[in-house]
Structures are given as C-alpha cells and as structure tokens.
Chains A and B, each alone.
Chain A
C-alpha cells in the first residue's frame, strides 16, 4: 500500500524565519504535487514536480524532489503571516495525500 508521510504535522514559526516541510512516499511515483489549503477552503495547487532533482520556486516557497530517496521538500524562506495554511503533498495520478502540515506563522 502506498504511504505518504509528512513531517512535521504541526509547525509554528515566527515571521522572517526559514523552515522546511518534508514529504516521504513509499513507492515509485512519476509525479509529486504540493497543495495549500486554508481553513474551510479548497485546495490550491502550488507545484507539480516530475523528475529527479526538479526544483520549483514561487515567491517564498521552493519545492524540490529526490525520486531516489522518495523525498520532496517544501522550503519556506523568510516566512510571512499570509503563508499560514495547511500544506499537503500528494503522489501518483490518483493523488494519494500525506497527512498535511499545519503551518502557523506568528508576527
């Protein structure tokens, strides 16, 4: 059974700090997605990573993929309050999700 594990599950950080969210998956996948979800809202697509070594950046968020280690990271640089949300990674075409990382950024 394919398992996707994120850590940490909860992350509270101060504005201006850097941090990384990790996503491990148990079997081969030809893609990895990162989504953002605000409370009570739908999921917003952030990144789609397709190949080993892929790196994508959007604003203060940067995602990378290591298919050999079955690991993706979502790095947050100089966090701001607006980035507070729950972040999910997902793999395979049918989207098997991790548990989510609830990120809270404090002023």
Chain B
C-alpha cells in the first residue's frame, strides 16, 4: 500500500506563473488536507477536503489559491500568479473516512517544495 504521494517534489515557477501541486491519498482514504510550511516554521493549515467537497478552507488565502479533490484523480492545490512569498513547502495528508466517534490518523506526503523566482 503506497503512502501519500505528492508531485512534483520540487517546483520552480517564475513570478506570475501558475503552480499546480498534486496529492494522491493513500488507498482507501477519502479525506485530504493541505498545509504550508515556511522555512524554520510550523505547518499552517490551509484546506480540508473530502471527495468533491471542501469541508474547511479557513486557512486558504482569499485570492489566487484554490483546491479541489475530484471524484477521480488526485487532489490539486492551485496557485495562480505566484509571488515570491508563495515559496514554501506544501504538504498534504490523508485520512480514512471518519465515522461517528471514530478517531483516525492522518499520514503525510513528502511535500512539494515550491520556489518562485
């Protein structure tokens, strides 16, 4: 059973370009979470998705950032018109379907390191 797969591992974009980060959850996992980590800092929650549904996007910047988790295929974090301040490591995590009273563990991918030049 493969773990959470993120690609690309490293991504370089010029200012103004678009960045698309992909996350394939573990088999059987229906929940995906995205986080941003600046150098020497902790992880900041961005968005929490279930297939075809955004559950919590309270950590997403209001502009230029969007996320989706379609019925088929990976979850995508999309950053339009990137700026230097978007340079960071972006991690996704996945967990199984959460049942009533059931606590599940989230497993992390290797991250995508975005550099905006």
Contacts and interface: CB of A to CB of B under 8 A. Distances in A.
18 contacts: A31-B103, A33-B105, A35-B108, A42-B108, A43-B91, A43-B108, A45-B105, A45-B106, A48-B103, A48-B105, A88-B43, A90-B43, A94-B33, A94-B45, A94-B48, A95-B43, A95-B93, A98-B42
A95 B41 contact: no
What is the size category of the interface that chain A forms with chain B?
A: 20 to 34
B103 A30 contact: yes
Interface residues of B, number: 20
A8 to B, nearest CB: 14
Contacts of B105: 33, 45, 48
Contact of B43 (A30, A41, A48, A97): A97
Contact of B103 (A35, A50, A88, A90): A50
